[in-house]
Amino acid sequence: MGQKTIIIIHGRSTKPSASAHQKLIRAALVNGLSRVDISSARKVASGEIKLAFAYYGDINNRLMLEDDPEIITDLMASNDEAYGMAPCRAAGPLARGIDRLATIKAHDKSAYKALLRQFDDNRWYDEVASAVSGMASVTGLSEYVVKWATADMSQYLMTRQAGSEIRQRLQGHLKPALEAGSDICLISHSMGCIVSYDVLWKYSRMSEYRDLQTLGSKVSLWLTLGCPLGEPGVRDNLYDASERGGDRYPRHMVKSWVNMAAADDFVSHDGTMANDFKDMLNFGYVDNITDHEVYNFWAAKDELNPHNFYGYLDNPMVASQISGWVSSGAADSVDQPLRERVPAVA
């Protein structure tokens, strides 16, 4: 097996600059790993484990702004040098949120309930909640539901141009890693799970990727966080939605699929993938699919958001899946926890 490589793709809605977002994700990842396995945390922090970031936040920001020009007030606080100084979210409040995550000691139900008493309860107000909630399965109006999701997510699912542009950001990292025979952990969050699914299907099915299919390389661990793939309104608009039977689903591209859904995360309203994608197992396209419920302790600006990517990465159950892929060794209980310093970002 080749170079161990973690490929990370984020989710929907507005984002900070590419450089800031990568630093924040890296900090949350290392902090989470330090909770369960110091050795794994050090390997990631030192660069021994390669990190690749499939960033499409500039596209998120552009699509969201085109849909609602008034959000410019939220995007004027910073600019992204990598993408023509385009307006983006300020990263400072996010860095402070990661600092607060580091103070969390327990990640169980009792601690989560205690957190709910400390902050404004924002669990029910995520703007995509109604779009991918039970309404889809009750009404069957999948296309209608998807159109009412956030602009970037609906544009991805409903238009070819936006979908192709976003998929290319992941393909630029995933295809070379597969060609090199790397040992890959693919971490996908939210809308990034949809993008990952579509790319994996393309690689396993389309003739222009025959070289990958012949090579037989696979993603060792696909970790989905806050994943909406179980929702009917999403499944009806995936790349393979028009396919039937054994022609659906990514084929022989993933060894283990592990899904983590946080309590009260309504983007992952249907938090179980094993039942929705059981045919992948029946056809032998994947070795296993497992689901786990976790608690997400993200709070910023005095509001909770159990869908937040950084909060997922900081969770010890999520980190244990990553550390298990990094190394089969036990957690180091002697060293002091490795605290990844959150860089100063505007």
Q: Give the pairing of strands 50-54 and 4-9.
A: parallel
**The pLDDT value given to residue 121:** 63
The residue with greater pLDDT, 180 or 74, is 180
CA distance 106 to 152: 34
Q: What is the DSSP letter of 309?
A: H
Type and span of the H or E element at 299: strand 299-300
Answer yes or no: are the C-beta atoms of 304 and 295 closer than 8 Å: no
> pLDDT averaged over the chain?
87
**The pLDDT value given to residue 337:** 42
**The pLDDT value given to residue 151:** 85
How does pLDDT run across 35-54, given as a tens digit for each residue? 999 999 999 999 999 999 99
**The pLDDT value given to residue 321:** 97
Under the banding of pLDDT at 50, 70 and 90, the label for residue 146 is: low
Mean pLDDT of 86-99: 93
**The pLDDT value given to residue 333:** 33
Q: Give the pairing of strands 299-300 and 303-304.
A: antiparallel
Answer yes or no: are the C-beta atoms of 61 and 88 closer than 8 Å: yes
> Token pair 């592990």 is at which residue?
258
Answer yes or no: are the C-beta atoms of 30 and 340 closer than 8 Å: yes
The residue with greater pLDDT, 159 or 312, is 312
CA distance 97 to 17: 17
pTM reported for the whole predicted model: 0.90
Q: Give the pairing of strands 299-300 and 50-54.
A: unpaired
Residue 140 pLDDT > 70, yes or no?
A: no
Mean pLDDT of 163-183: 97
| The residue type at 156 | Y
Helices 38-46 and 18-36 cross at an angle (nearest 10°) of: 160
**The pLDDT value given to residue 344:** 45
How does pLDDT run across 193-252, given as a tens digit for each residue? 999 999 999 999 999 999 999 999 999 999 999 999 998 888 888 999 999 999 999 999
The residue with greater pLDDT, 112 or 302, is 112
Distances (CA, A) of 302 to 7, 26, 264: 31, 23, 17
**The pLDDT value given to residue 345:** 44
Residue 346 pLDDT > 50, yes or no?
A: no
Lowest average pLDDT, out of 62-71, 140-149, 217-226, goes to 140-149
Answer yes or no: are the C-beta atoms of 334 and 37 closer than 8 Å: no
User: How many Cβ atoms are within 10 Å of 47's Cβ, its own excluded?
Assistant: 8
**The pLDDT value given to residue 130:** 42
The contacts of residue 103 (CB under 8 Å, 6+ apart) are none
Residue 134 pLDDT > 70, yes or no?
A: no
Under the banding of pLDDT at 50, 70 and 90, the label for residue 67 is: confident
